[in-house]
Amino acid sequence: MSTVDKMLIKGIRSFDPENKYVITFFKPLTLIVGPNGAGKTTIIECLKVACTGELPPNARSGHSFIHDPKVAGETETKGQIKLRFKTAARKDVVCIRSFQLTQKATKMEYKAIESVLQTINPQTGEVDLDFVDSAGALLLITWFMGSNWCCRDHLISGLSDFVFLVEFFENRMPGPAGMKYCLSLGVDHTKEGNRRHESFQ
């Protein structure tokens, strides 16, 4: 099976274009938790965009997917998603998708400016695209204030995933060890607020 290793996001939705936010996925499962507005849905959207090239349905043709230049105090924002994954044949591949949103005189202009796949070892030139199910055991969890767990968005659909998730928590959760499955998000994606500045490669 293919696996997702890391994803870099910058300049997408609330993720600051000046900073690189790198998410490292855990095995066998990554849970993404955080308060409303922290960016959980954006992470899932970025996974989907990186994998398929399709923008989310609410992206207003890309205009609302890229970080709003007005929020950044600029006339142009560049957004980028880089996804590093291992193919079923255990080849490391990086998918890079870059975008641009520019404030013109009367309207915003959205452009997808780059969409490439790179192998980590360019000598082989081999790219395995057996990638569709690479989300594997990634589930998005929204932890609502009342501390109810709610499986609201996730890439691998179906009730069985949710049942699995409940079992997972019942049997294995808490204790500090449980945290290795858990990626916790804050709401502040600025340089100061971003505690996950890791190198991507």
Ligand X SMILES: Nc1ncnc2c1ncn2[C@@H]1O[C@H](COP(=O)(O)OP(=O)(O)OP(=O)(O)O)[C@@H](O)[C@H]1O
From the list 40-48, 91-99, 156-164, 175-183, the region that binds ligand X by CB under 6 A is: 40-48
User: Rounded to the nearest 5 degrees, what angle is found at the Cα of 83, between the Cα atoms of 80 and 86?
Assistant: 165
75-114: burial string, b at 16+ Cβ within 10 Å, e else: eebbbbbbbbbbbeeebebbbbbbbbbbeeeeebebeeee
- Kindly state the smallest distance separating residue 64's Cβ from ligand X, in Å: 5
Residue 36 interacts with ligand X (CB under 6 A): yes or no: yes
Residue 7 interacts with ligand X (CB under 6 A): yes or no: no
Which of residues 66 and 95 has its CB atom nearest to ligand X in the complex?
66
Contact present, 10 and 19 (Cβ < 8 Å):
yes
Of 28, 37, 53, 186, which one interacts with ligand X (CB under 6 A)?
37
Which of residues 71 and 113 has its CB atom nearest to ligand X in the complex?
71
Which of residues 20 and 40 has its CB atom nearest to ligand X in the complex?
40
Torsion of CA 92, 56, 24, 87, to 10 degrees: -20
Residue 74 interacts with ligand X (CB under 6 A): yes or no: no
Of 3, 14, 24, 102, which one interacts with ligand X (CB under 6 A)?
14
- Kindly state the smallest distance separating residue 147's Cβ from ligand X, in Å: 14
Which residues make up the interface to ligand X (CB under 6 A)?
A: 13-14, 34, 36-42, 64, 67-68, 71, 142
